[in-house]
Amino acid sequence: MKNISIREFYKDIFGDNASQLDALLDNIGSNDLGHFNVFDTKKFYFSGTKNKEMSYNRRLYYKISLIKGNNLVEFAGKSVLIERQGILFATPKIPYRYIPQNNEQAGFFCVFTKEFMSKSKTGVQLDELPIYMPNSDFVYQLNDQQYQEIEHIFKKMDDGLSSDYAYKYDLLRTYVMELIHTGQKLKPIESLESVTNASSRITSLFIELLERQFPIEGVTQAIQLKAPVDFAKTLGVHINHLNKVLKETTGKTTTEITNGRIVEEAKLLLKQTPWSISEIGFTLGFEEVAHFSNFFKKYTGFSPLQFRNGLKITKV
């Protein structure tokens, strides 16, 4: 799993055309903060019969997608199917995977950064809105009337973005908030998966997140996910739920699995590298060498230096 920036998002659509990428990223201008854009889904995501699947990644921007077509959306605890038409509110907090189920896809989507909305005169904080809470259901089915009403908002966005109206970005922020408030009144789509399948998904994603941090290949490389809460936030699930799922599926808690893996990596680094104890501790997420030493001794019975030197201690 990686973090997808706005630039990488555009690069995925348009390729390596630098001038086109710069033009897209500069569409707001120097007098405004943040980024906003709106697109016709059919034009930019589909060509002929080739579907565009989005891999499971964390996106560093917000995205609202009006969807016409059958699509499967997978995220940590759920797998939901959009039938015919729906709307999706993506947030940087919740990584997800998006898989078109047919070739007839249409609709609109807009992308924007937190900075763009921070200039709203309403003083809105996106992360405080119910639809963007970590445990929110962010995919909604739409009937024909709802789809048409939301499509009208997107068309106003499209027209507004290309206009020369002096306050068009204030107007665009108003349209974004209209979409959000409309979404918060909708009923979420029920999950397709059983509790067992959802638990298996969370477990496999957790293990993938943990293992992607290893092996450590240099002293400047430090793991980013260490505490259970770090993994829970990345997966978009509550820490208590993550602990419960892992205990049920592996017999171990989040902390036990994570710390066990860190200890194994520490042993390898101590035996196979010339790095100092302090450098190894840093790569494994310890700011103080004493904290690393205490951690290692708790799980092995030896200090890092004793382990490295192969000393054995006779326990009394």
Most confident of 22-26, 37-41, 76-80, 302-306: 302-306
Mean pLDDT value of segment 111-139: 79
pLDDT value, residue 49:
38
Q: How many residues does the chain have?
A: 316
How many CB atoms lie under 10 A from the CB of residue 27? Answer: 13
pLDDT value, residue 135:
65
Statement: residue 28 has pLDDT above 50 = no
pLDDT value, residue 17:
58
Mean pLDDT value of segment 150-160: 95
The tokens for 113 are: 């950064």
- Cis peptide, bond prior to residue 215, ω within 30 of zero: yes
Mean pLDDT value of segment 268-277: 93
Residue with tokens 């260490």: 226
pLDDT band at 246 (very low <50, low <70, confident <90, very high): very high
- The distance in angstroms from the start CA to the end CA of the chain is 47
pLDDT band at 38 (very low <50, low <70, confident <90, very high): very high
Statement: residue 170 has pLDDT above 60 = yes
Statement: residue 190 has pLDDT above 70 = no
pLDDT value, residue 125:
79
Q: In terms of pLDDT, which residue wins out, 262 or 316? A: 262
Domains of the chain listed by start with CATH number: 3-184 (2.60.120), 195-309 (1.10.10.60)
Specify whether the CB–CB gap between 53 and 100 falls below 8 A. yes
The type of residue at 177 is M
Statement: residue 215 has pLDDT above 70 = yes
Statement: residue 286 has pLDDT above 90 = yes
pLDDT value, residue 312:
46
Statement: residue 166 has pLDDT above 60 = yes
Least confident of 67-81, 93-107, 182-196, 248-262: 182-196
Specify whether the CB–CB gap between 228 and 285 falls below 8 A. no
| Distance (Å) of CA 267 to CA 17, 101, 260, 277 | 46, 46, 11, 11
pLDDT value, residue 239:
92
Q: Which of 106, 8, 113, 112 is nearest to 52 (CA)?
A: 106
Task: Provide the greatest CA pair distance for the chain.
Answer: 82
pLDDT value, residue 315:
39
The type of residue at 228 is P
What is the strand order of the sheet 62-68 is part of? 36-40, 106-112, 62-68, 85-90, 139-141
Query: By percentage, how much of the chain surpasses pLDDT 70?
Result: 78
Least confident of 180-194, 201-215, 265-279, 289-303: 180-194
pTM: 0.59
**251 exposure class (CB count in 10 Å sphere: 0-12, 13-18, 19+):** exposed
- The dihedral through the CA atoms of 249, 253, 255, 260 has a sign that is negative
